[in-house]
Amino acid sequence: MIPSATLFGLAGAALVGIGLYGFLAHAHLLRRLLSFNVLGSGVFLMFGAAAWRSPWIGADAVPHALIITGIVVKLAGSALAIALLVQLARATRRAALPEDEGRPP
Amino acid sequence: MNLVIGPLLPFVALAWPLLLGLGAAWPAWRERALWVLPAAPLPALLLAIAWPEGSTTAPALLLGTVLVLNAPGRLLLGMVAVIWLAAGIFALGYFRAPRKPAVFAGFWCLTLSGNLGVMLAADVATFYVAFAAVSFAAYWLVVHDGSARALMAGRVYLVLALLGEALLLVGLLLGVAAADSLSIAAVAASLSEAPLALTCLILGFGLKAGMVPLHMWLPLAHPAAPTPASAALSGAIVKAGIIGLIRFLPEDAGLWTTGLILLGLVGAYGGVVAGLLQRNAKAVLAYSTVSQMGLVLAVLGAGLTTEAALYAAHHGFAKAALFLGVGVLAATGRRALPWVLALAALPALSIAGAPLLGGALVKAAIKPGFAGWLEWAVALSATGTALLLARALWLAVRGRADAADARPAPLLWAPWAGLILVALALPWFLLASFSTLTPGYVLGLASLWDATWPLLLAALLAAPFLRLRPRVPALPEGDLVVPLGAAASAAMHTLRRLPEPTGPHLALPGATRGKAVLAALEAALLPWRRGGLLAAALVLALAWSLAG
Amino acid sequence: MTAVLPVLILATSLVPALLIFWLPERAWRARAWLNLGGAAVKILLVVFLMVEVANGVTHEARLDLAPGLYLLLRVDALTLLFVSLSAFLWLMTTIYAIAYLGDGPNLSRFFGFFSLCVAATTGLALAGTLITFFIFFELLTLTTWPLVVHKEDAKSVKAGRLYLAYSLPGSAALLVAIIWLESATGPVIFAEPGDLRVLSDASLMAIFALFALGVGVKAALFPLHGWLPEAMAAPAPVSALLHAVAVVKAGAFGIVRLIYDVFGIALTAELGVGLPLALLAAFTILWGSLRALQQTEVKKRLAFSTVSQVSYIILGAALAGPYAVIGGLVHLVHQGLMKITLFFCAGLYDERAGITRIDQLDGIGRRMPMTSICFTIGAMGMIGIPPVAGFVSKFYLGLGGLQAGEPWVVGVLAASALLNAGYFLPMLYRIWFGVAPADAPQADERSLGMLVPAVATAAASLAAGLFAGAAISPLAWASLIAAGYLP
Amino acid sequence: MTTLLLSLPVALPLLAALLAVAASRQAAGLAMATGFLVLGLSVWLAFEVAAAGPITIALGGWEAPLGIVLRADGLGAGFLVVSAMVMAVVLVAAQPSFEDQGQESRAGFAFWPLALLLFAGLNTAFLSRDLFNLFVALELLTLSAIALVAIEGKAGSVTAALRYMVFALLGSVLFLLGAALAYAAHATLDIGLLAQVELGWPMAAALALMTMGLAIKTALFPFHAWLPPAHAGAPAPASAMLSALVPKASFVILLRLWFDLAPELASPLLLAVLGGLGAVAVIHGSLLAIGQDRLKLIIAYSTVAQLGYLFLVFPLAGGAGGAQPWSAGAWTAASFHAFAHMLAKAAMFLAAGLFLRAVGHDRLEGLRGLARAMPIACFAFGLSAISLMGLPLSGGFTAKYLLLTSAFASGQWGWGLVLVAGGLLAAIYLFRPLNLMFSKEGAAASLTPVPRWEQVLPLLLALAAVLLGLFSAGPFAFLQIGRPGAAAEGLLP
């Protein structure tokens, strides 16, 4: 049986991989942002998995605190990104950076 | 530190003309500036006549100036002073409405100071400075009247003077380096070991003294200058070259012993031939100077230094008198002409070595230097001299005043007559101390004959000419200068028109293309996908290398 | 040993500079007093320091920047030769510039940078280490640039660009050379540079070449001289500064320091780097003269003449014989005096008669006699006609060449003298004997502020030659310096 | 007392940012006051550090690994002081731009809190020793910076901000991933503690991730393309902060990672990659700067190039330390370079802002004749240009000298040549605008007047950059306080 920590770690890694792919592959910024959130979640999952020490000690509390802080930070980042994206879409009727669509910047 | 160690008078003699020259520029004195001319050489005259031999030093001046008063220098110093004095007095009568008198007086004084300086200088730097002063300042005397002819003559004079200075500088530098001393005596002693230095010096001095083929400036410049200045130029200034040779020639001049004699004789005869083909009295006289200086060079080559000085001094007085004579004749009407002409002929005869005149003595003095065919050649040159000077007088008479009863003013004839007197008489007093002969020798029958036959020969040769009056082809003044000058100015023209290198450029070749390439690269880095992949690749590479 | 004097002598131009920047444009009186006061105090200090140095007292000041990097100001005989020249010429140029620029625009900026420039020159002369030298050398470049572009017209701006385009790569080469050297030997203090032998011969040669390249730009050594003639677009006082007081002098001074205080005569000879430099200098002498001959503008001709003349200094330094050193060093002063005279006069011609081309000089001697006399003296000095100072330099250089076993030097000197005559005499001829055309513009020289400096420097060039043997002449001082360098 | 000294530079701007949102009318005054207060505190702290050595505090009494530890050593305090200087001046200079727009406009409202948040993030990054804290600081810094880029809401600047965002997010996530790995391997995030344990391959992977994340945030070539449009598109005071301050935070963390935390892990490839990319950045950024026709773009590309120099520290560190006792080498030089760049670049952007205001646009042609109209601002521009070119006497020169010495002393000529070439290229792109300022032909007839006091502000910063070179002995000694051993010995044995 795979220990749950390892499972969480592997799942996190998978999420990182999927998120990274999406982050790189999509030109549409909203998709890209969503991918980034997947990526971030993967990182947090891995972080959480790293908190597991041993059955006797249980989980380390520090990563949990850090993950919560991280989620707040990511939330703020995403909010700012969405705000900017909305503004871009209003101004240019596009939701992608020009160079990613092959337009001149 | 003492400013001057030794007697002050030699310095005063040099500085006094300069002070007068500067004073002449003072606005209030400008109009009457010419009056300083006769006063300028007086201290030098005193120095030459009445001062004991010896040297004096001013360490702060130039590279440490040393002046020396000794036999050949003293004689030539006196000659210079007397000629400039006479010419100065003459100038007062000559210039009725002088053009820029202050400028003329200023450069007159500067030239004089330099001319005196070369006779006194005992160190190389002072000599060089004085030589340059006399060379360059004299330019203003040559071009004084501002005519196209004078300016042209001046240009030739200047170019050659510069060439002379350059030769002199090289020669002096080589000499000083060989001797490791600034003293002229030391340099002279080491010159026999430094043939290149000697050559440069001889050429440089020879140029000033009218040595063939560097004589071209002389027949141009001397006639172009106002008459008093011509007298100074031909009488005194050319002697700057002679004193240079006297001071610097080593005991053993090697090949130049022969060289000087040969070049001298070429000059002695060539000057006669070229001079006879001239149409201007002063030009003829200038060629006569070339010819006479040729003889002096030959004498120097023969090693008779003091005799050469004596000969040169006599020539200076007589030639200056002849030049002034041209001026005097020009102010003389038909009525007074015979007397004036008779007097004017005296220095001519003296230079030609007519018996009992001063010239006969100096010619006798130089005779021991030559033997064999050289003796004949030297003696025969007197015939040429006689012919040449006769032609000069002939031309001068043709230029006499139009008014029949015109008489030269005392300011004109007095200095002239004085110079004639000195020329005729002085050798009698100096012969004993400047040569191995005594005046009694020239009174001997043999030497009287030696002095007479060339003149008789000259008369014989001249007779057919006087009768037939053939047309003589004219030779341009300065002979060689015509082709050489054309070549020189063509060369200068070419130099100036050489294609100029293009100026510095700031634009780089290919800048536009480079800019486009960079911009393309930058645009390629902008799309996110590439950046992200690059980052991922680098992370992997780094992780691998760090873990390994 | 005190630190006050070196700092003070630097401050005499630095402090006025900093104050002048903040003066309003109209405060020309305050500006003039600040400048002249600074210059006067500086001259007094220089005189005092000369006595001190002659008595063997050392003055130095030190400011640490980082370990191994410090500013060292130190007064030695060579320093004073340069400082005294620049102090005297600064005073003259300031007087001249005040009259020349009149009430033109941007004067506070101009005089501020002008004084800064002199401060940089002073610092460069006082520099006791290589890096100090470099720092002031670079400061000089920077402070000169606003002066070159002062007129703000297209020509000046182009000249400024060119100046930097030459100078900055030069400084970069210099910096590389210095750091290369110092990274092996530690900080190089002049006259006690430590053991350079830790580097290989090839490295030392490369360092020498880079260094010569770096300072050669300022000294207008062929083929690095292109900026100098273009910089003539600047106002006349700036030309004076470039050609006589500061910039090209700084380059030549750098070469002297390089050979005598960094490498030393022995090592220079051992490496065999002196001769190529001497040959290059000789070529520059001839090249500059030839190019001068081709020019039709007064200032350009003078500029190429500088190219030629400054290389005399380098030639002297590179030959490294006793007389050659003296000749080179004394020419540092003599060239400055003579060339500044010529530029003062050129400025007068330009400003008072509108003359910029040589063919306009016809007959100007009659209308501007004092100016023309000064010009003549300067020109004669350049040709080497005694007793103007130039002949003394040439005399020693020639002797030095022979002493060093390089007789070709004499030939170069003679050829250069003839070439100099070839381009100066026609100018003099036009000035004195040309006939002014009927439509020549009005000309007069009633500007005491411009005339007096010209007369003073002309008189100084004459006196420096005439009294070369005096105990306090440039020649005497140069001999003193040379004696210190020679074994 | 020391607790307050260390925590206030972090806390005060945060507090002020909150207050500025609440009392937006007093925001400008509040921000300026905070700027000067923090500057004063930083200087005080610096004196304390100079007197007593590095100061470490644990907030709330919790020691690492549990608590938050702040530590002021020479490097951190130095950066703190210089960035506070820049910040104080920039905040004053920003006042006319943003106060006039009134409270109704978004820019006028948002600028002050954003600037203060940025300030807080910056100070935290300089003082923190904990990887996660550093992450949070970086995020705070980056997000406020991105918001500042977009503050005017124009399409171009929003695009630039979003592009910046994308890169920054990747940088953050790489850094966070690295931190998570580090924690998984060693159960601590404190740099000091990590430095003491034996590090294995997980830490190598973590370092690779964090290094790349930080390099992206520092806009190292080839991840720099977002920088010029972002910096050039922001309003001038914001550009000054973005260009001068923001990249320095990630660079300081990078220095700490390698010199404090894991010098023994460094590989030749790491040095080659960082140094090489830095060198390419120097050349590439400079060449592109030469090609620009807008002043702010020139300055922004210059930042790309100048940041490249910083990365040369990795191969050069230790280059002169052991062999040459008179030179402490490249590590100090990098800090010097960063200081000089902070001061000079901020001055340059502020001056450019004034030119833009006077002329109405920032195309180079508009600069014609400004030397006459705005002499003080032009002088400031010139002085900061001198420092950026590394000409004496300036902080830039001292840095270049030290770097060059390291390069030559250790026989690494190539880096030395890059330094020299970079200086020359900088001269080319910086003298282009200077030349135009001195060209009176074609000068604009009418200019919007700019008050003298505003022109003095960039001059102050530029003078500081120059004085840093003239009085570099003090800062040099200060930087040695708490200097890691690897700074002198180099990253590779």
How is C401-468 classified by DSSP, letter by letter?
HHHTT-THHHHHHHHHHHHHHHHHHHHHHHHHH----TTPPP-----HHHHHHHHHHHHHHHHHHHTT
Q: Do C466 and B162 touch (CB under 8 A)?
A: no
User: How many percent of chain B have pLDDT more than 70?
Assistant: 98
Q: Do B518 and D205 touch (CB under 8 A)?
A: no
Residues 46-65 of C with CB under 8 A from D: 63-65
Cβ atoms of residues C363 and C440 within 8 Å: yes
Helix axes of C369-383 and C448-466: crossing angle, nearest 10 degrees: 30
Nearest chain A residue to D132, by CA? A66
User: What are C396-426's pLDDT values in tens digits?
Assistant: 999 999 988 888 999 999 999 989 998 999 9
* Confidence category of residue B254, pLDDT binned at 50, 70, 90: confident
User: How many percent of chain D have pLDDT more than 90?
Assistant: 56
User: Long-range contact list for A3-8, CB < 8 A, 24+ apart?
Assistant: A3/A52, A4/A52, A5/A49, A5/A52, A6/A49, A8/A45, A8/A46, A8/A48, A8/A49
What pLDDT score does C203 carry?
93
Mean pLDDT score, C270-275:
91
C70 has which bridge partners? C64
Place of tokens 């850094």: D175
User: What are B160-205's pLDDT values in tens digits?
Assistant: 899 999 999 999 999 998 888 999 999 999 988 888 999 999 999 9
Mean pLDDT score, C183-199:
83
What pLDDT score does D395 carry?
92
Average pLDDT, chain C: 89
Write out chain C residues lying below 8 Å of B128, CB-based: 386, 391, 395
Write out chain B residues lying below 8 Å of D214, CB-based: none
Partner chains of C (3+ C-beta pairs under 8 Å): B, D
Nearest chain A residue to B533, by CA? A24
How distant, in Å, are the alpha carbons of B540, C80, C263 from that of C270?
A: 55, 29, 10
Q: Do D136 and A69 touch (CB under 8 A)?
A: yes
Mean pLDDT score, C366-387:
91
Closest CA to B106 of C425, C458, C376: C376
Mean pLDDT score, D112-134:
93
Alpha helices per DSSP H over D23-154: 27-52, 74-99, 106-127, 131-149
Interface probe for A, chosen from B522, B525, B526 (most Cβ of A below 10 Å), is B526
Provide the residue count of chain C: 487
User: What are B231-251's pLDDT values in tens digits?
Assistant: 998 889 999 999 999 999 888
Q: Give the domain extent around A61.
A: 4-101
Q: B516 at the D interface (CB within 8 A)?
A: no
Which has more pLDDT, D386 or C233?
D386
CA distance C258 to chain B (A): 27
Cβ atoms of residues B90 and B227 within 8 Å: yes
Q: How many separate domains does chain A show?
A: 1
* Confidence category of residue C26, pLDDT binned at 50, 70, 90: confident
- Return the sign of the alpha-carbon dihedral for residues A88, A89, A93, A98: positive
What pLDDT score does D318 carry?
66
User: What are B482-536's pLDDT values in tens digits?
Assistant: 788 888 888 888 887 777 776 666 666 777 888 888 888 888 888 877 888 888 8
Mean pLDDT score, B69-95:
92
Nearest chain C residue to D393, by CA? C135
CB proximity list for D136: less than 8 A, separation 6 or greater: A69, A73, D124
CB proximity list for D467: less than 8 A, separation 6 or greater: none
Among B525, B528, B539, beta carbon nearest to D209: B539
Interface probe for D, chosen from A43, A64, A92, A101 (most Cβ of D below 10 Å), is A43
Nearest chain D residue to A46, by CA? D180
B54 has which bridge partners? B69
> In this structure, how many other beta carbons lie within 10 angstroms of the beta carbon of residue B335?
12
Q: How many separate domains does chain B show?
A: 1
Position D492 pLDDT exceeds 80: no
- Range from B345-349, C65-69, C286-290 carrying the lowest mean pLDDT: C65-69
CA distance B425 to chain C (A): 38
Partner chains of B (3+ C-beta pairs under 8 Å): A, C, D
Write out chain B residues lying below 8 Å of D265, CB-based: 546
Size of interface C-D (CB pairs under 8 A): 106
User: What are B115-134's pLDDT values in tens digits?
Assistant: 999 999 999 999 999 999 99
- Range from B243-257, B372-386, D90-104, D135-149 carrying the lowest mean pLDDT: D90-104
CA gap C474, C467 in Å, rounded: 9
Position D64 pLDDT exceeds 70: no
ipTM at complex level: 0.87
CA distance C380 to chain B (A): 10
* Confidence category of residue A97, pLDDT binned at 50, 70, 90: confident
What pLDDT score does D214 carry?
95
What pLDDT score does D275 carry?
93
User: What are C316-348's pLDDT values in tens digits?
Assistant: 999 988 889 999 999 999 999 999 999 999 999
Write out chain C residues lying below 8 Å of D393, CB-based: 135, 139
Structure tokens at D207: 């370092």
CA distance A2 to chain B (A): 27
CB proximity list for C267: less than 8 A, separation 6 or greater: C196, C197, C204
Nearest chain B residue to A101, by CA? B527
Please provide residue D374's backbone torsions phi and psi, each rounded to the nearest 5 degrees: -130, 65
C and A touch with 3+ CB pairs <8 Å, answer no
Among A32, A43, A49, beta carbon nearest to D173: A43
Write out chain D residues lying below 8 Å of C160, CB-based: 435, 438
Write out chain A residues lying below 8 Å of B526, CB-based: 99, 105
Write out chain D residues lying below 8 Å of B531, CB-based: 167, 216, 222-223, 225
Q: What is the CA radius of gyration of chain A?
A: 17
Say if B518 falls within a structural domain: no
What pLDDT score does B487 carry?
85
Mean pLDDT score, D183-188:
86
Domain spans, chain D: 266-493
Position B1 pLDDT exceeds 60: no
CATH number at residue A86: 1.10.287.3510
CB proximity list for C341: less than 8 A, separation 6 or greater: C374, C375, C377, C378, C381, C454, C457, C458, C461
H or E element in which residue B390 lies: helix B373-398
Domain spans, chain C: 273-487
Alpha helices per DSSP H over D360-472: 370-373, 375-389, 395-409, 413-437, 452-470
Which has more pLDDT, B545 or C204?
C204
Place of tokens 């180099």: D490
Interface probe for C, chosen from B57, B141, B165, B498 (most Cβ of C below 10 Å), is B165
Any idea what DSSP says for residue B233? I
User: How many percent of chain C have pLDDT more than 70?
Assistant: 99
* Confidence category of residue C279, pLDDT binned at 50, 70, 90: very high
Write out chain B residues lying below 8 Å of A100, CB-based: 527-529
Closest CA to B329 of B278, B410, B391, B399: B399
* Confidence category of residue B39, pLDDT binned at 50, 70, 90: very high
Mean pLDDT score, D356-362:
89
Say if B524 falls within a structural domain: no
Please provide residue C363's backbone torsions phi and psi, each rounded to the nearest 5 degrees: 70, 15
Write out chain C residues lying below 8 Å of D441, CB-based: 152-154
Q: What is the largest CA-CA distance in chain D?
A: 69
DSSP assignment of C320-362: -SHHHHHHHHHHHHHHHHHHHHHHHHHHHHHHHH---BGGG-T
Nearest chain D residue to C170, by CA? D424
Average pLDDT, chain D: 89
Closest CA to B451 of B520, B336, B538, B364: B364
Q: Do D169 and A46 touch (CB under 8 A)?
A: no
CA distance A24 to chain B (A): 5
What pLDDT score does B399 carry?
84
What pLDDT score does D141 carry?
95
User: What are C91-131's pLDDT values in tens digits?
Assistant: 999 999 999 888 888 888 899 999 999 999 999 999 999 99
Q: pTM for this one? A: 0.90
CA gap B83, B234 in Å, rounded: 10
Q: D163 at the A interface (CB within 8 A)?
A: yes
Q: Do D288 and B519 touch (CB under 8 A)?
A: yes
* Confidence category of residue B347, pLDDT binned at 50, 70, 90: very high
Instruction: Tell me how far the alpha carbon of residue B209 is from its chain's centroid.
Output: 6
What pLDDT score does C452 carry?
93
Cβ atoms of residues D114 and D241 within 8 Å: no
Among A43, A60, A77, beta carbon nearest to D139: A77
Q: B539 at the D interface (CB within 8 A)?
A: yes
Q: Do A62 and D166 touch (CB under 8 A)?
A: no
CA distance A97 to chain D (A): 7
Closest CA to C127 of C289, C19, C298, C250: C250
Write out chain D residues lying below 8 Å of B516, CB-based: none
Write out chain D residues lying below 8 Å of A23, CB-based: 169-170
